[in-house]
Structure 1
Amino acid sequence: MIEFSGAAVRHGPATWGQRAIWRITQWLPPGDPYFNLPWTLAVRGKPGMAEVEAGLRRLMERHESLRTTWHDGLTQRVAGEGKLAVDLVEAGGERPREVAARIAAGLAATGFDYAGELPLRCTIVTVNGMPRVLAFGFSHLAVDAGAMEMIAREWPLLQTGAPLPPAPQPLELAAYEQSPEGAATSGRALRHWRTCLDRAPRTLFGPGTSEQAAGNPCRFVKLGMDSPLSARAATTLAARHGVSTTSVLIAAYVTVLARLTGHRTIALQFIVGNRHAPATQGLVATLVQDGVFVVETAGDFAATARAAHAQALTAYRRAHYDPAAQQALIAEAGPAPTAYFNDTRTFPGWPNLPASPPPATITELGTWEHVDAQLFFAVDPATHTCRTSLLADTEHLPRARIEETLRGIESLLVTEETA
């Protein structure tokens, strides 16, 4: 049990990022873990248990989001003291990182009581009683990928007790968002949203096939693909066309969507980390919101990749806004795009690709009764392969077509690489 104390008790409005996550949790049944995040953190050096426990205590006291509860999605309350239950698990003959990954998945497999419990769970994996890896399950209301990267960077200093500069806090960001400057930021973002909504096709697919009846818990299917060949091709194409690997993957995605749907113009919602402002650099919180952009796919792949790159940069700059105002805009000028793209990598490439890439593998990752998207394409963290996933509404894209779409993206990338 990690006891933390000596920090301020505070409350105030939820941030826009927290409200955005809260809104999309509301279409899930109570206790659904869809927006939980499993994560592992290696313990470097040879610290004792006391040092690691002290590091966890400093972590809790330093970052208010980790001791926050949320109430009706509009208010956040920061505890000044409390206890974090931490289990100890001996790795035995297994690799501690693999044990921790399995435990983290279990910690994130149960929904959080947003108003009644801390937004994280933790287990310390040991080897011969010595701490080696931390396993976490986080609520997405508390952290995003950027926040977890920040924790990883700070951990060596937290563990040793070395001094750190003061950390920004979510309530400070919420105060900015409620200010005239925040209103101006939101206004610029929403003007961009309106421009994109005016250009976007009104629908992505035609009428559904009705193959999946309403209420079917398996209507939305998510498949994952590991493709080292896609990673190699995306790296080559990014250098060739002067864009990022993210932009190459967007271009491949929208090109395949254009073929699927018959639309030359593809509109995407684009998950944006909102960490470009200096004030957000050290903030452990969830800042992600939906950006939006529109790409024309009439040209060749190089033209599509460059267009995707330019549009993505604009979306990055115009994704910090009041979610209530955004929903009002969508009600007036929408609908919003129902296809999504999310690159969750915090490192831009794949440094550990094998010299001889093996064939792609497909894995089923889950099924759901309802998701607020028709398609959701994600790029997941991995350094040895391009790890992607596609979640789709099977009323419009049956399971076999989901796999065909993933493999079609790989095929397009490899073909363009050798062109």
Structure 2
Amino acid sequence: MTDGESCEGDDMSVEAPLSHGQLFSWREVERYPEGWLTEANLASTWDMRGLSVEQAYGLLRRLVDRHEALRTTYHAGDGGRPVQRVHEAVELPIELVDRVIEDPSEHERTKEELVALPFAMSGDLNWRGRMVASGGAPVYLSLTFSHLIVDLWSIHHLHDQFKALVADPRAVAAMGPAPRELARRQREESWRPRQESSERYWRGVLDDGLMDVLPTLPARVERNRLELTLHSRALGGWAAEAGKRHGVTAPAVVMALLAAGLARHLDTDRVTMSLMSSNRFAPEDQHNVGTMNQLIPFVTGVDMRATLAEHIKRLHWTSAKSYRHSCYDFDQVAAMAAAHGERPEHGCWMNHLFRAWFNYIQVDRRPSDPHDPSPAELAWSPLAQQYGQAFRVRVEVRGGRTSVLMLADPEVLPAEAMTDMMRTLAVGVQLAVSDPGRALKDLWSAGAAPPPSLFPPEPPATVTPA
């Protein structure tokens, strides 16, 4: 049975327009080149020990019955705008495998196998799993979801609800509106003030100007890129300490330092950063299971004479204001940009409107320790993501370790500039705590090298894109 077949024969389905978050995810994924569709996949591994196969499948069916996103397929609609179909019932797209488990880390291989399988954008449930048992007893469940139907926040909710059902099969869960309900609300008259507010914000961003020095690409077009990742167990701890000192968040500290490096290497005093927003600020949206993330850009000045404290606070508050307008109709914004005079020849608005983006993901609740002496690692990816924006940073904090992944077009930021920006980040997180009165320009003349826990003393040689 394939995922597409799991919905065949189900005549009890309801067709509806997409919510703003669903439409944004669709427009994002549809620009991926054919060989990169797995970039939309999100993985999760759940402990199944102590359950029988029947219990495990029964609890999973409870989740599927509870959440429309797990019973939804997308389909082409009129005028190129997709629609969703919510099915009353679907077969679980989960295979059962029974085998002897000799390697305690084999679940990582299973996860890699599933994540490497792309989903079809249309007609697919866009999630699948493999339950691995040994001697008839379930051990773990490896799941892969497409970003088309859920975000990372939703996966955490699903896992928490599954664990609650394991503890008590009668457990209930706080529920937010389903994606179909969100789509309906976003088209009602009561939503109009939010829509008009977002439109005003976007007009302001367009008036301020996007970063024209960053080239944009057509959808599904590949181009050689560079990808550099800094791993450090101490970095997240220093960013958190700096955030506490200045009354901002750890992500804001990291973003501000990277924005400073970008401004320096682009020789500009203004930058545009596009932030990934969860769009879950209202209490009624805290428990939604669906895909709600959207990028929102903001334009800000970078004054190299300002102190580190002033720069970090300015970036934090400017970005915080942008979040108020981060739930919008993407197609409507693209039409607005075209009317404004933004006319990318290739027509890929996703790449054109978000030329530089920053995302910070806290995968789990384990804090980072600024005094962890573990050596930092810096590595170039053998094959960088070859499509999309000219500059992108994705920060992931998992198990106390912070990983900063920077992707860049080498014609915009050569390898040496990317390495320098990572070093600047390492220097800056400490100075933001110990000497925040230093001028921003001093990040490149501080003298002392960052400790090995924040940046390797001998970074790897620069690379030439393949």
| TM-score (normalised: structure 1) | 0.88
- Of 401, 408, 415, which aligns to 1:385? 401
Q: Deviations over 1:80-110 (max 9, x none)?
A: 2222232326472222xx3223322321222
Structure 2 unmatched ranges of 5 or more: 343-351, 436-466
Deviates more, 1:321-330 or 1:120-129: 120-129
Once the two structures are superposed, the pairs formed by residues 121-160 of structure 1 within 5 Å of their partners are 121-126=128-133, 129-159=136-166, 160=168
Task: State the shift of 1:36 in Å.
Answer: 2.4
User: What residue identity is the alignment partner of 2:297?
Assistant: V
Task: State the shift of 1:121 in Å.
Answer: 1.1
Once the two structures are superposed, the pairs formed by residues 6-405 of structure 1 within 5 Å of their partners are 9-30=13-34, 32-43=36-47, 46-72=50-76, 73-87=81-95, 88=97, 90=99, 92-95=101-104, 98-126=105-133, 129-159=136-166, 160-165=168-173, 167=175, 168-205=177-214, 217=222, 219-298=224-303, 299-333=306-340, 334=342, 336-345=353-362, 350-351=367-368, 355-364=372-381, 366-371=383-388, 373-405=389-421
Give, in whole Å, the separation in 1 of the partners of 2:211 and 2:408: 18
Q: Deviations over 1:340-399 (max 9, x none)?
A: 01112255773467732322332517434421x111111113132111111212232234
User: What residue identity is the alignment partner of 2:260?
Assistant: T
SS of 2:103 mapped into structure 1: coil
Give, in whole Å, the separation in 1 of the partners of 2:330 and 2:22: 10
Q: 1:140 to 1:131 in 2, by over 3 A?
A: same
Task: State the shift of 1:321 in Å.
Answer: 0.9
Kept in 2, the 8 Å contact 1:38–1:104? The answer is no
Structure 1 unmatched ranges of 5 or more: 209-214
Deviates more, 1:279-288 or 1:408-417: 408-417
Give, in whole Å, the separation in 2 of the partners of 1:347 and 1:200: 37
Give, in whole Å, the separation in 2 of the partners of 1:190 and 1:115: 30
User: What residue identity is the alignment partner of 2:357?
Assistant: Y
Task: State the shift of 1:263 in Å.
Answer: 1.6
Deviates more, 1:75-84 or 1:130-139: 130-139
Q: 1:52 to 1:395 in 2, by over 3 A?
A: same
Kept in 1, the 8 Å contact 2:275–2:295? The answer is yes
Give, in whole Å, the separation in 1 of the partners of 2:62 and 2:178: 15
Percent identical across equivalent pairs?
A: 23
Kept in 1, the 8 Å contact 2:19–2:179? The answer is yes
Give, in whole Å, the separation in 1 of the partners of 2:11 and 2:313: 48
Give, in whole Å, the separation in 2 of the partners of 1:11 and 1:269: 32
Q: Deviations over 1:389-418 (max 9, x none)?
A: 112122322345434433332233234444
Kept in 1, the 8 Å contact 2:161–2:173? The answer is no
**How many residue pairs are counted as aligned between the two chains?**
411
> What is aligned with 2:347?
none
Task: State the shift of 1:312 in Å.
Answer: 2.4
State the structure with more CA Rg: 2
The two structures, once aligned, show a CA RMSD in angstroms of 3.0
User: What residue identity is the alignment partner of 1:378?
Assistant: R
Q: Deviations over 1:157-200 (max 9, x none)?
A: 33342232574311100000111122321221221122223224
Deviates more, 1:55-64 or 1:83-92: 83-92
SS of 2:36 mapped into structure 1: coil
User: What residue identity is the alignment partner of 2:185?
Assistant: Y
Give, in whole Å, the separation in 1 of the partners of 2:357 and 2:24: 15
Q: Deviations over 1:32-66 (max 9, x none)?
A: 32442332233276222222111211121111111
Q: 1:403 to 1:349 in 2, by over 3 A?
A: farther
User: What residue identity is the alignment partner of 2:332?
Assistant: A
> What is aligned with 1:211?
none
Give, in whole Å, the separation in 2 of the partners of 1:244 and 1:181: 32
